[in-house]
Structure 1
Amino acid sequence: MVAMDGKKVTVTYTDEFGIWQHLADEFRQHFPLRNLHWKSAKGPLRNIQVLGVELKRFNPDTTEQSHMNPETLLEKPYLNLYFVNCDDNEKYRQIVKNKIREWLNIVDSKRKQEWLIVYVTKQETMRNAARYFMKGTVFDKIKADFNSSRRERCVQLRLAENDSEDYEAWQELITKIKEGILCSFDQHVITYEEEIKKFDSQRSIVGWNYCRSFILKERLALTFEIMNLFEEALVQYDELEASFFQVLKDRALAWFGSFGATDPNDDSDNILDIKKKQYRDLIMQNTTSEFDFRCYLFARQCQLLGRLHRPVDICRRAQFFISTFCRAIKEHQANIGEHFLESWIFSSCMSVVNECEELAPLTSMDDSSTIAFNAAKGELLDLARKQLDKIGIYYDHLPSLLPFTASLGDVIPPATDEEGKAKKNFSITNKELQEAINSQNDFDVLYLSLTNRALGAYEGSARLRSVLRLQGDVAALHFDGRYSMALWRTRMDSC
């Protein structure tokens, strides 16, 4: 699915006093976090309505490296919690204080990670401690030893005997957790923005690398995404796209190994699937092809639009991307193979439409949005159908006459046997197209099915001219002796 679930912010916990087993279930009930507010240095206040959190036991042995994959970096904790349960001042002084200090030294060695000490106690313990107030409680000593002047790093969780007091105690802890996560997130954003700015300022220097620039900026985009700030993440990819077009205009494509589009199933894979190849690794290694890079960039933009529940924008972007990128593919047709382009356009259009049809019911759309979605979807289905015109004429499943030759741009004469054999060396890997090529009946079924889907979309958007055009195409086949029943069904469906 386009609108797939994203990663969660990681929060670790350290429990050296056997507390976690008594807190875990209730602790998890307070997640996901809700209503976080982040103020960036450059923009207005952002509201994060829901934020998923993954709790993990603290691992002191984990190390971080600056060259790590951006997605791997997201697994680093934003906040580390240390649970303490001790009401004996002497034990605290001799044992507990040193344990906290050792943990804190490890946490401080990790970059851009926040920490919080959680002192867990019961109400009964609090009442007993009041008798010895002059000595000060263990929690008082923890605050004196570890609180910083800038912000409080210690919070007390009182396990209450009634629900109202329990709610207040947990709310204080949850508030501190929100503050810690937002503080860590803000540090990440500031650091990444500074690195991007510094690297972009070196653009005119020999050795500057677009792929490196992409990785830096995508790291920022993924950081926004993990915090459910999808609009901000999308801006980063849109800026990367604009930057790429400038590179393309300057013909400075030395960072791309080749044009590509020669891997198995490149003509038929789901264009929105970002896991079908190790895209980020290829980009980091400067071995990605232009074809893979542009497909990945487009898929990431659509993935974010999916998480924003904007199927109309996905369809519109897809139409623009496919129609513009196919020109570049045509320039490399000799190295790719005959009918690669038709198969890629058909497969890409159908992948986008199928994904968006699953997304649309999950999206709140008014009448105008529904009309816009049907129109955008209809254009993609129509574009896919035009590829069937081209393939059908080539394999003699359609007559080489108008209106079918209109999809070719020019009316082409039938290929000779020798030319046909030479052109058929490339093997289309889309299974639907394979079956349609091998069987006249399968081709007819696919052609009619796709035409009906396009008709339904155009009718839902009141595109009457497009409806009449498609009905005319089917009517033309009536005279070929194969589509009399198909024509009747199409007309009945449109009534």
Structure 2
Amino acid sequence: MPRPVTITYTLHPSYTSPSSSNQTNQILNLAIQGIKQHLPLRNLHWKSSTRTSLRTIQEIDIELIELGEISSTTNNNKFNLGNESSILDNPLVNLCLVVCEDAEIYKNQTRNFIRDWLSLLAARRTPHAPLIVLVNPPNQSGGSNSGSKNVWGKDKGVLGKIKNDFNVGKRDRCIQLNLPRESSGLNDPAIWPELINKLKESLISAFDSLIIEREEEVKRGESQRLNIGWNFCTWFLLKESLANSFEAVNLPEDSLIIYEELEASFFQVLKEQNLSWFGISKLGAMNFGDDSLPILDVSQKPYRELIRNSQISIFDFRIYLFARQGQLLGKLGRITEVAKRGQWFVASLTRRLREAENSLAEHFIESWTYTACMDIVSRCDQWSRIDRPNGDYSGLVAYESARSELLDIARIQVERIGVSSGHLPPIYPFNPATSPYPKLSEEEDVLFETTSNGLSDDEELQHTPSNNQGSPTERPELSNEQLIDAQKDQNNCRSLYLGLTQKTIKAYGSCGKVNSVIRLKADLAALALYTENWVEAYDLSRALARDCAELLTWDPISKFALEGALQAHRELDKEKDEDWENLALAYLRVCALVIDEKATDQQDEDQYQELRKVVDGLKETDNEQEVEGHKAFNVRLISEAVRHEVGGSLTSVQVEVNNILPICVDADGISIDLADSDGEIITFSSDGKTLQPGTNAMKASCSTSTQGLYTLHSATIVLGSISFTYDKFNEGQTLRVKLKLDEDPKVVVEVRSGIVDMKNIKIGLRSLIPEVRYLLQDAEFDERLVSLDESGLILFSDIQSGGEVVISIPYAGVPQGEYAKAQITIQYDTSSSSRDWIDSQVVFMGLPLTVNVQDFFRPDCLLSHFTVASDGREYLRIASVELTPPEGGAYEVQASRKKWDDTITVHPNQPLSCLFKVKQLHKDDQGAVLRLKIRYRSLEEVEVRHAIEYAFRQLSPAARDKIRNITREWMNDKAKWLEPYLLGISLAQTLGEIFESQNIDGLESVLKDENKIWRTLEIPVDVPQHRLLTIIRMNPTTPLNQIYEGRAINMKLSLTTSFSWCGQIIKNENEKKMLVFDIQNNEDWLIVGKKKGYYMANPNEIEEQDIILIPMKSGQLFLPTINIDLLSNIIPNQIQIQNQNNSRSGLISNENEILCETYFENSGESIIVLPCKKEINHFLPILIPNGEAWESERI
């Protein structure tokens, strides 16, 4: 803790002086007692000439001692530490309290004493502020003596003589203190303010002089940095004295800045390799106890003494610098910053120590890192509890985040020591280097961030000196008893590790870092598995797998958790019930998703042993279960037509089964279901077959004889009593769609003919969800209604080969989500036969964009600002945005963007702004509807996917099948293609890298010729009507030169009414509107005059008002805002009658309601106000014309 500021006092006559008396001693004792009662000093204001801003010192601790005590301790280090100590170690203010009522006594004794006292202070050669206090005893009447003034306003008597003799220039070093008669009167507030204020002024004056003097010394020392013999430690202590001084007067922000500058200077010296002032050990960390000392406690080691003797190591020096910064941040309540800086500091110094690890104690780095992190957490918790005694950390989420990371770093150190000591297994997850998943082995980089100290990590390593390398036998030993016990005893190690892990999990949970909790829960589950605590391992592994599934991430950890749960289930000899089946199926899923890149043939047997046991267990279970869409397999129909087997009793099709699992699977049966247009299903099946990893082609047979067009309905793979079913799901094709929001909603069906002519076409559309119904009777083709046959199918003419038709079909209803599923049936004739085509597609019923509009009214035009934004999920490509008026109407539209030569990409968090100017060609009383047309397409769902599908159609079937799976994976990983594609790289270039090994010709050319599809959204926009526009202007009545704060400005307010956007003309006087203006009074201006008033809305007249603006602060001030509202001029009786008449008709119409709009012509103008030289508060009377007074006006 910093020492209090010292103020000395000297008494005259002193207690031992022959001229003293009991009464005099009593008077002086009362004065000293009264001064001490007003300590510590509060609310001091320091404005230094070397600083731009005013510093407010809330409180300063003062030690008031007699000058003789300072003189007797001159040789004591407390007040004789030289330039290395704080500038506040010497007294700043010296008081001389004298009692003298007689002019002769003053002339013969008191004046000489004061002169001797000033000479003694001058001999000390330290800046100080002497203050002479004349203590006046109380008079006999019970009052107090008061200094009198002569006719020129100067003090008379002894006080006047003291001021004449000892005041220097304009500096007043003399003041009087009038004591009350009774000692209880010391609390009288009228006695002490003058003396206390003078004491504050003297203290600040002396402090400012000392700071300026010490800053000059620091600058001189720094300028000699490149000279031979310059010592950084000496200069460091010199500049640190400034920081200590600021801290002593409760200015921790200024003290923190000094330490940050010292740290920057240290790294600069480190870069210049000017390290002659370091000790022999250079880097340090060689002393016993260095790994266990708390880093935020500078009293644990004589850091300053080591710095003074130039014997401090870099290790100790950096710890001292960080500790001082941390203490100051703690005083400021910035505990989050302490934790963050602590994390960076530990990471930086750990990297430096790693270079000299061979010369340090074994596990020194882990021990020191553990101690540092836990000490930072402990101290920060103490500081946070000071601010929040009830322990509520809800507002400290950022601190909890940094705190949890510090705990995690400490936990990892215990983990490393446990692995090295053999108390924890050297396998994943305890040894991240053994992880089969490279991305998960980089967890340390997440916790240890790169520091920002002006040097990169490589540079700092290059310039940091190392310790002298000794032999391994000379290495010191650890001193952290907690970690030593953990090294020696397995139970202590695991107990410490488990407790710290649970504490870290709780910390991560409190700040919402659920992903980080997963990693720690995996460690707990792994430890339970390693210690063969099967019950706990089973519960922890199941909970971990459930958390991974809920987060839809961490598939490698999910695989590890499911393996552990299945192993624990087997060891506990539990029954293979439904819970086990769910675990097994989830394990198959993650095994299909997670690919082990490090697997080898030799490791295959052991690595996939658990997977084989799971597959065998699923085949042996008796519980029948149907699993839909499992990731372990894919089924695809290859044949385009059935094949008749020899004998003609069976038909067969070719089926492709893709086994995603890395092992062979013996399937008991495989079947596919085909459906015709009537919903009749036939099944093709295959007997048991061994599915090799990858693609397996096989033949499925059917004994049913039938004919017609069949589509794939579903597929099933059977393992024992488990059936893996796969329903056919095709995404809907992307069509060119034009939407008009003011028309009935429609879907668009596009039919394209292939290489044959299609004749006598019949099209049917059936909704597969109950919420939506398609109105085929209202379908349109080429803006003409189509006809239906007796079965309700749309009759259509022929389509030539390669041709296409587009039919718009209205629908009724709204789906629960944004998607609707429909079945499309097409019957047509070819030159050889009749054919049916049946397909199910999903239609997106929503819009991927939102549109907002904001109107700005002007007398001659309307400025409409449209904002086109994405729905937050899609990237949109905008081809054009147009606002068109009706033909022959009363409006014309001008766009800020005349031509759309290039498209614009709208990001989910970056909307598109479009500005249009709408002009009235002639008066329009009824209003009009404009059309906003937006041509757009979805970047991912429409543009990219359609381009790839179009490219696939140009390739051969062999090449198409070869790259389809690779392309699907590429599309799902947006990080690989989205950013390059948005930057202008073509799809051919983006896909080129993954297709180089496939040797596919022609892909680049077809991607360049992609057929782009645009959608059009057409929105009706009503031209605003019933808007009464007021044009506002505020101008000064006299030219403005220099305007100062607090000086009045005469302004003229002009209000002009425009009926351009009212939609109707006021024909008689009874229809005229009364308006009210209201000038908003903000903190920038004081408004004098008529701030609120009423006037008649007349477009032929300008309403003018004179007001006065008084600026309340300096700077660039904008004019105050003005609100205009409509005030009805209907008398209350008429209002009542009108409401009664409207109530008889059942409603009150508001369709003709007038809304007020304002246009402040010079709202963008500002006034530069200069700061006033003096601040004067005074009430001014306001003269009102005709003797009237304004209501509700105050200054």
TM-score normalised over the length of structure 2: 0.38
Aligned positions of 1:344-383 closer than 5 A: 344-363=368-387, 370-383=396-409
Q: Is the 8 A contact 1:35 1:49 kept in 2?
A: yes
- Write the distance in 1 (CA, Å) between the matches of 2:252 and 2:536: 45
Q: Is the 8 A contact 1:448 1:486 kept in 2?
A: no
Residue 120 of structure 1: aligned partner: 135
Letter aligned with residue 442 of structure 1: N
The one of 266, 282, 295 equivalent to 2:290 is 266
Q: Does 1:219 align with 2:241?
A: yes
Instruction: Say if 1:185 and 1:483 are closer, same or farther in 2 by CA, change over 3 A.
Output: farther
- Write the distance in 2 (CA, Å) between the matches of 1:212 and 1:362: 36
Instruction: Give secondary structure in 2 for the equivalent of 1:55.
Output: strand
Per chain length, whose mean CA-contact separation is higher, i.e. which structure has more relative contact order (CA < 8 Å, sep 6+)?
1
- Write the distance in 2 (CA, Å) between the matches of 1:95 and 1:154: 17
Instruction: Say if 1:168 and 1:306 are closer, same or farther in 2 by CA, change over 3 A.
Output: same
Q: Is the 8 A contact 1:312 1:369 kept in 2?
A: no
Residue 138 of structure 1: aligned partner: 158
Most deviating of 449-458 and 345-354: 449-458
Letter aligned with residue 37 of structure 2: Q
Q: Is the 8 A contact 1:339 1:426 kept in 2?
A: no
Q: Does 1:109 align with 2:126?
A: no
Instruction: Say if 1:463 and 1:94 are closer, same or farther in 2 by CA, change over 3 A.
Output: same
Most deviating of 157-166 and 354-363: 157-166
Instruction: Say if 1:465 and 1:264 are closer, same or farther in 2 by CA, change over 3 A.
Output: same
Residue 286 of structure 1: aligned partner: 310
Most deviating of 401-410 and 12-21: 401-410
Residue 44 of structure 1: aligned partner: 53
Most deviating of 360-369 and 257-266: 360-369
Letter aligned with residue 146 of structure 1: F
Letter aligned with residue 82 of structure 2: M
Instruction: Say if 1:424 and 1:261 are closer, same or farther in 2 by CA, change over 3 A.
Output: closer
Kindly state the Cα deviation for residue 123 of structure 1 after the two structures are TM-superposed: 3.7
More strand by share: 2
Most deviating of 217-226 and 170-179: 217-226
- Write the distance in 2 (CA, Å) between the matches of 1:48 and 1:486: 58
Aligned positions of 1:12-23 closer than 5 A: 12-17=8-13, 18=25, 19-23=27-31
- Write the distance in 1 (CA, Å) between the matches of 2:268 and 2:149: 71
Question: Identity percentage over the alignment?
Answer: 40
Most deviating of 353-362 and 9-18: 9-18
Most deviating of 95-104 and 66-75: 66-75
Q: Does 1:403 align with 2:429?
A: yes
Instruction: Give secondary structure in 2 for the equivalent of 1:167.
Output: coil
Letter aligned with residue 115 of structure 1: P
Aligned length: 479
Residue 481 of structure 2: aligned partner: 431
Residue 159 of structure 1: aligned partner: 179
Instruction: Say if 1:129 and 1:339 are closer, same or farther in 2 by CA, change over 3 A.
Output: closer
Letter aligned with residue 129 of structure 2: E
Letter aligned with residue 415 of structure 2: D
- Write the distance in 2 (CA, Å) between the matches of 1:432 and 1:28: 49
After superposition, the C-alpha distances for 1:150-174 in whole angstroms (9 at most, x for unaligned) are: 3111111111358699322211111
Look at both structures and tell me which one has the larger radius of gyration over its CA atoms: 2
Letter aligned with residue 471 of structure 1: K
Residue 268 of structure 2: aligned partner: 246
Residue 201 of structure 1: aligned partner: 223
- Write the distance in 2 (CA, Å) between the matches of 1:66 and 1:333: 42
Kindly state the Cα deviation for residue 209 of structure 1 after the two structures are TM-superposed: 2.3
Aligned positions of 1:307-326 closer than 5 A: 307-326=331-350
Q: Does 1:389 align with 2:415?
A: yes
- Write the distance in 1 (CA, Å) between the matches of 2:505 and 2:392: 21
Instruction: Give secondary structure in 1 for the equivalent of 2:189.
Output: helix
Letter aligned with residue 201 of structure 2: E
Residue ranges of structure 1 left out of the alignment (5+ in a row):
412-421
Letter aligned with residue 308 of structure 2: M
Letter aligned with residue 253 of structure 1: L
Q: Does 1:481 align with 2:531?
A: yes
More helix by share: 1
Q: Is the 8 A contact 1:403 1:473 kept in 2?
A: yes
Instruction: Give secondary structure in 1 for the equivalent of 2:190.
Output: helix
Kindly state the Cα deviation for residue 342 of structure 1 after the two structures are TM-superposed: 0.7
Most deviating of 319-328 and 113-122: 113-122
Kindly state the Cα deviation for residue 429 of structure 1 after the two structures are TM-superposed: 0.8
Kindly state the Cα deviation for residue 358 of structure 1 after the two structures are TM-superposed: 0.5
After superposition, the C-alpha distances for 1:277-297 in whole angstroms (9 at most, x for unaligned) are: 222222122121111111111
Q: Is the 8 A contact 1:389 1:407 kept in 2?
A: no
Letter aligned with residue 49 of structure 1: Q
Residue 418 of structure 1: aligned partner: none
- Write the distance in 2 (CA, Å) between the matches of 1:407 and 1:113: 65
Residue 6 of structure 1: aligned partner: 2
After superposition, the C-alpha distances for 1:105-136 in whole angstroms (9 at most, x for unaligned) are: 11122311111111111341787788999994
Q: Is the 8 A contact 1:39 1:45 kept in 2?
A: yes
- Write the distance in 2 (CA, Å) between the matches of 1:114 and 1:474: 67
Aligned positions of 1:78-93 closer than 5 A: 78-93=92-107
Kindly state the Cα deviation for residue 26 of structure 1 after the two structures are TM-superposed: 3.0
Q: Is the 8 A contact 1:375 1:457 kept in 2?
A: yes
Instruction: Give secondary structure in 2 for the equivalent of 1:169.
Output: coil
Q: Is the 8 A contact 1:385 1:447 kept in 2?
A: yes
Kindly state the Cα deviation for residue 47 of structure 1 after the two structures are TM-superposed: 0.9
Instruction: Give secondary structure in 2 for the equivalent of 1:309.
Output: coil
Kindly state the Cα deviation for residue 406 of structure 1 after the two structures are TM-superposed: 2.0
Residue 54 of structure 1: aligned partner: 63
After superposition, the C-alpha distances for 1:135-191 in whole angstroms (9 at most, x for unaligned) are: 942222222221221311111111135869932221111101111111111011111
- Write the distance in 2 (CA, Å) between the matches of 1:486 and 1:30: 65
Q: Does 1:454 align with 2:504?
A: yes
Q: Is the 8 A contact 1:189 1:220 kept in 2?
A: yes
Kindly state the Cα deviation for residue 379 of structure 1 after the two structures are TM-superposed: 0.7
Most deviating of 379-388 and 439-448: 439-448
- Write the distance in 2 (CA, Å) between the matches of 1:34 and 1:452: 47
Instruction: Say if 1:90 and 1:286 are closer, same or farther in 2 by CA, change over 3 A.
Output: same
Q: Is the 8 A contact 2:252 2:332 kept in 1?
A: yes
Residue 416 of structure 1: aligned partner: none
Letter aligned with residue 315 of structure 1: A
Q: Is the 8 A contact 2:87 2:245 kept in 1?
A: no
Residue 415 of structure 1: aligned partner: none
Instruction: Give secondary structure in 1 for the equivalent of 2:85.
Output: helix
Instruction: Say if 1:388 and 1:130 are closer, same or farther in 2 by CA, change over 3 A.
Output: closer
Letter aligned with residue 36 of structure 2: R
Letter aligned with residue 122 of structure 2: D
- Write the distance in 2 (CA, Å) between the matches of 1:46 and 1:132: 36
After superposition, the C-alpha distances for 1:360-388 in whole angstroms (9 at most, x for unaligned) are: 02236997850001011111110001100
Kindly state the Cα deviation for residue 69 of structure 1 after the two structures are TM-superposed: 6.2
Aligned positions of 1:61-72 closer than 5 A: 61=72, 62=74, 68=82, 70-71=84-85
Q: Does 1:183 align with 2:205?
A: yes
- Write the distance in 1 (CA, Å) between the matches of 2:204 and 2:242: 15
Q: Is the 8 A contact 1:81 1:118 kept in 2?
A: yes
- Write the distance in 2 (CA, Å) between the matches of 1:74 and 1:336: 41
Most deviating of 286-295 and 60-69: 60-69
Kindly state the Cα deviation for residue 6 of structure 1 after the two structures are TM-superposed: 3.1
TM-score normalised over the length of structure 1: 0.88
After superposition, the C-alpha distances for 1:68-88 in whole angstroms (9 at most, x for unaligned) are: 263365321111111111212
Q: Is the 8 A contact 1:211 1:284 kept in 2?
A: yes
